[in-house]
Every structure is written in C-alpha cells, then in structure tokens.
Amino acid sequence: MRLRLPEERPTEPPTGYKIAHPVLSQDGTRAGFTGVSLGGALPYGVLADASCVYGLRHRAPHRRCDCGFHCVHDRAAAEALLCTAEHRAALLLEVSVLGAYIRFERGFRYARQRVRTATVGSCACGTVAAALADAGWGRPGWRALAPSCAGCVRGRTSVSLAAFARLGGEGLRVVAGSGDALASADLGTAEGFGVPELVAEAALLQARLDWFQTQLGRLGERGE
C-alpha cells in the first residue's frame, strides 16, 4: 500500500517567509536570489519553479527527497535566522507558495513560488541601507549583493533598492529595514519615482561622486 498524504485546496496561495541573498546577473540586467542552505548553488528569480538539487528527474517536491523550495509559516522564525553571522547580509522574503506543496509543522516544501516582498536589513555600519552593493562573492554568472548605505558603497558595483525591484520584475517590492517601501514593480521610469526613491538615488549618486573626487585628489597629489 502507498501512503497518501492529505490534500489541501486553498482558495488563495499560502504565505511563507524565508531568507536569501540578493544576486545580480553578470551583465547587470537581471536580479534574483540565492538560498542560504541546500539550494544555495542555484540562483532563482522572483517567480520560479523548483528543481531537484541532486539532479534527479522527479518533480519537486518529491516525498522521498528534500528537494523543492523551503519556507516557514512564522515571520519571526525567519527573522531569527538573520541573527547568525553568515546570514547577517541576507534579506527577509515574503513569498506566495504556488503549485504542489508538502506542509510541515514549521513550514512548507513546495514546487513554485513568487517573491512578493524583500526586506533589506541595515548596512554593516548600522545605517539604513540605500542600495545593494557587491558582497565580494557570488555564483557563476551572478554577483552576490549586500545591504549598503550611501557612504559605504564607494566604487563597488551596486544598485538602488528601486532598481533591484525593477530588474526583478513580477511585482516585487523591496523595502528598507525600517519598513518604508522604497520600490515597487510599477517604478518603470523616473516619472514613477516617489520622494523616498529619489532621496535614495540622490544619496547613492552623491556617495559615488564623493568617492571619485577623493580619488582625483589623490592622483593630483601624486602628480605634484
């Protein structure tokens, strides 16, 4: 006899929470995420289907495998994972659980997901993040990013929170740790920016100009 699990047919997709690192494609045209555990080697987009990380041909989530996307029911449980040293630069994601899923006591393992909201933590210096900047590591074809304030961006590759949301697409919202929305999917042009987005963009631009001015000053001193 084969054990049949009880089936659920919710009227709306369940909501779950997880943490992940933001990533930017090598050419800077796409934004996504990479997991912090088993599936960390496979970056995924805002709307994505799961596949078996072991290369097996069965559909995820398979009952006799641990493949598939993972999330927890409770937001506080996901936030607690951000306390560990290796996860301090990760983002908190609110996701819609789509397709087939297996329910566990603390969360879901499932086939398809849509990232609805990504909450960005503070910069390493403790200031509210205005951008996501090169974290110094990545995956083939993808550059990992970390929260950064305007003053700490300097010359690193970076994107503002609004730009990351636009590159991610699919209705993604990116919010700062304070909870103020800094990006939404309809920010397609400069005309769509609100005051918070323009302030963040201006601060990021000013930080870059300050850095270049410092470098030019140093070159001038060497020339003399």
Query: What digits encode the pLDDT tens for the residues 43-76?
Result: 999 999 998 888 788 888 988 898 999 999 999 9
Q: Which of 155-164, 178-187, 213-222 has the highest mean pLDDT?
A: 155-164
**Closest Cα to residue 145, out of 118, 116, 111?**
118
Confidence at residue 216, expressed as pLDDT on a 0 to 100 scale = 73
Percentage of the chain lying above the pLDDT 70 cut: 80
First to last CA, the chain: 86
Percentage of the chain lying above the pLDDT 90 cut: 63
Confidence at residue 9, expressed as pLDDT on a 0 to 100 scale = 85
**Tens digit of pLDDT for each residue in 142-177?**
999 999 999 999 889 999 999 999 999 999 999 998
Confidence at residue 31, expressed as pLDDT on a 0 to 100 scale = 98
Across the chain, what does the average pLDDT equal?
86
Tell me how long the chain is: 224
Confidence at residue 56, expressed as pLDDT on a 0 to 100 scale = 83
* Two structure tokens written together for 205: 């631009």
| 135 touches 12 (CB < 8 A) | no
Confidence label for 188 from pLDDT (cuts 50, 70 and 90): very low
**Tens digit of pLDDT for each residue in 4-51?**
667 788 889 999 999 999 999 999 999 999 999 877 888 999 999 998
What is the SS3 assignment for 186?
coil
What is the SS3 assignment for 104?
coil
Q: Which of 88-92, 204-208, 218-222 has the highest mean pLDDT?
A: 88-92
Please provide the DSSP assignment of 13-41 as one string. Answer: --EEEEEEEEEEETTSS-EEEE-SSTTTT
Lowest mean pLDDT among 58-62, 84-88, 89-93, 147-151: 58-62
* Two structure tokens written together for 37: 């555990």
